[in-house]
């Protein structure tokens, strides 16, 4: 039986985190009533003129530098002409001839433990279209122009990926780079990062590419992986049965795990590109480029290495914490305040992860401040509160960013540190429970656990468990 190789390239659209749109001053925030974030420019009214948002250029160049691209210091915009109901001008302002970034690449980890460089053909700036909302009950579609004119960069890879795993590794690396730059939140579920998959198959060992299809409507890493596997199998079935793969755009339905044809795939000439007459060329001076380079942050790979060397935290913990910029910021700031990175890491890895899972919270939605986490670490380490109370206080802090010091004080949660008072309670519990005491002396060590529980109950949970165990053992 013939062996086939999958050849995959991606077009990744990323909505940039500017406060306003690319060519007007309308807000870019997600949500809002339909058509409330609009003006004559982003709704394509005749006579309205675009004005370029400088921050878009900075973000695009920063992503280009972080992905090892060559920056086109003299670039310009072009018109891409096509009609679609959510495209108000009947054209899109994009870049074809002189995109802002070219010839880059990022390194990904492969399944066999090695690394592989995925080439980036280009990155260009463009405006987003509006959004069509299809009426489920009628036969009409509504259009919302809030997203129209939101700034995008499109990152076009080389066809260097050979499996769904490589695609996910590439997207994950790209997502982290862009998040660390602050250029976008890259939330696939909100559409601020969208990937179109160009896929073809060829007989293993051949050089020539097969006919590619493009798949759209992929809004999660899992959906992308499923779509790749399904499209690979579909193309193999066509070729094995003597047919030919048609170059087309297909829409993926993740619920049915099935794709269907939308339209035949256009080539550049179909869009009748020409230079955008309403915008002057963009000139990025050497000084401006140096400023953008100087503002580049410490990225995940460098951070990961530093965490293991400087903070001595385990590889797995470092991987999880650096896997989100917000989580990494909390860790670093809290560690700097309390000077106890291992304990900060423990609170993030255990209690934070547990509560995030239970409440379905993303790291970017965490409410508690690094300052409050550092205070909690100090309270627990200095035995001002015991471990059980610390967990209860943390839960309050997780939900409301409550100041743990004030909360402990106001609710009388400090651990009892008076050794004499604790001894009195332990003695009282021993005298009140002769049977468990006898069981303990007869070798049933579990009886001590019952007695500890009774002591903690008497102390209303405010005693230090280690002190309770030590005194109980001594008196028994």
Could you tell me the residue ranges of all domains in the chain?
4-289, 298-411, 419-475
* Across 83-92, 130-139, 337-346, least confident range: 130-139
Closest CA to 77 of 93, 59, 53, 54: 93
Cβ atoms 151, 53 nearer than 8 A? yes
Cβ atoms 123, 69 nearer than 8 A? yes
Q: CA 117, 119, 125, 131: dihedral to nearest 10 degrees?
A: -80
Cβ atoms 161, 8 nearer than 8 A? yes
Closest CA to 176 of 255, 261, 310, 67: 67
Chain segment 397-446, per-residue pLDDT in tens: 999 999 999 998 888 777 755 566 667 666 777 777 777 676 667 767 67
Whether domain 419-475 has CATH 1.10.10.410: yes
Cα angle 255, 257, 259; round to 5: 110
Q: What's the half-sphere exposure (Cβ side, CA atoms, 13 Å) at 337?
A: 17
**Tell me, what's the pLDDT at 270?**
79
With the C-alpha atoms ordered 423, 425, 431, 436, is the resulting torsion angle positive or negative?
Answer: negative
Chain segment 460-473, per-residue pLDDT in tens: 666 666 666 767 67
**pTM for this entry:** 0.82
**Tell me, what's the pLDDT at 12?**
95
With the C-alpha atoms ordered 154, 160, 164, 165, is the resulting torsion angle positive or negative?
Answer: negative
Residue with tokens 């986490």: 373
Instruction: Measure the CA–CA gap between 384 and 376, rounded to whole angstroms.
Output: 10
Reading across the β-sheet that carries 258-264, which strands appear in turn? 70-71, 101-109, 115-127, 151-157, 4-15, 193-203, 213-216, 248-253, 258-264
Instruction: Measure the CA–CA gap between 335 and 348, rounded to whole angstroms.
Output: 11
Instruction: Measure the CA–CA gap between 195 and 276, rounded to whole angstroms.
Output: 26
Chain segment 187-231, per-residue pLDDT in tens: 887 788 999 999 999 988 888 899 999 998 788 899 999 999 999
């Amino acid at each position: 039986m013939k062996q086939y190789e999958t050849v995959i390239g991606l077009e990744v659209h990323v909505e940039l985190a500017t406060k306003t749109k690319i060519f007007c001053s309308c807000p870019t925030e997600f949500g809002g009533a339909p058509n409330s974030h609009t003006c004559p420019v982003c709704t394509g009214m005749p006579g309205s003129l675009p004005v370029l948002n400088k921050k878009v250029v900075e973000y695009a160049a920063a992503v280009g530098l972080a992905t090892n691209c060559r920056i086109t210091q003299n670039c310009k915009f072009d018109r891409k002409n096509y009609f679609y109901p959510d495209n108000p001008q009947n054209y899109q302002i994009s870049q074809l001839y002189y995109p802002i970034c070219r010839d880059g690449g990022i390194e990904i980890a492969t399944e066999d433990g090695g690394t592989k460089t995925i080439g980036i053909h280009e990155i260009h700036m463009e405006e987003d279209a509006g959004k069509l909302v299809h009426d489920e009950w009628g036969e009409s579609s509504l259009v919302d122009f809030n997203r129209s004119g939101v700034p995008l960069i499109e990152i076009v890879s080389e066809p260097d990926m050979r499996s769904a795993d490589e695609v996910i590794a590439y997207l994950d690396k790209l997502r982290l780079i862009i998040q660390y730059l602050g250029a976008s939140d890259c939330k696939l579920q909100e559409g601020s990062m969208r990937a179109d998959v160009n896929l073809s198959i060829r007989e293993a060992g051949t050089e020539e590419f097969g006919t590619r299809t493009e798949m759209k409507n992929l809004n999660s890493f899992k959906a992308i992986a499923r779509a790749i596997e399904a499209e690979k199998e579909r193309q193999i079935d066509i070729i094995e049965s003597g047919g030919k793969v048609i170059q087309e755009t297909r829409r993926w339905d993740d619920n049915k795990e099935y794709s269907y044809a939308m339209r035949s795939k256009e080539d550049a000439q179909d869009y009748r590109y020409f230079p955008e007459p309403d915008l002057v060329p963009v000139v990025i001076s050497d000084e401006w480029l140096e400023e953008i380079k100087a503002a580049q942050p410490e990225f995940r790979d460098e951070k990961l290495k530093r965490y293991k060397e400087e903070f001595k935290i385990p590889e797995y913990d470092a991987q999880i914490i650096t896997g989100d910029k917000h989580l990494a910021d909390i860790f670093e700031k809290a560690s700097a305040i309390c000077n106890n990175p291992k304990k900060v890491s423990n609170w993030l890895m255990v209690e934070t992860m547990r509560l995030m899972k239970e409440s379905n919270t993303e790291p970017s939605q965490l409410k508690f401040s690094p300052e409050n986490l550092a205070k909690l670490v100090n309270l627990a380490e200095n035995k001002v509160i015991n471990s059980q109370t610390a967990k209860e206080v943390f839960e309050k802090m997780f939900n409301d960013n409550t100041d743990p010091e004030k909360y402990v004080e106001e609710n009388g949660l400090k651990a009892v540190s008076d050794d004499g008072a604790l001894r009195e309670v332990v003695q009282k519990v021993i005298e009140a429970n002769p049977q468990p005491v006898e069981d303990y002396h007869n070798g049933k060590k579990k009886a001590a656990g019952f007695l500890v529980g009774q002591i903690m109950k008497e102390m209303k949970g405010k005693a230090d468990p280690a002190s309770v165990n030590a005194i109980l053992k001594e008196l028994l």
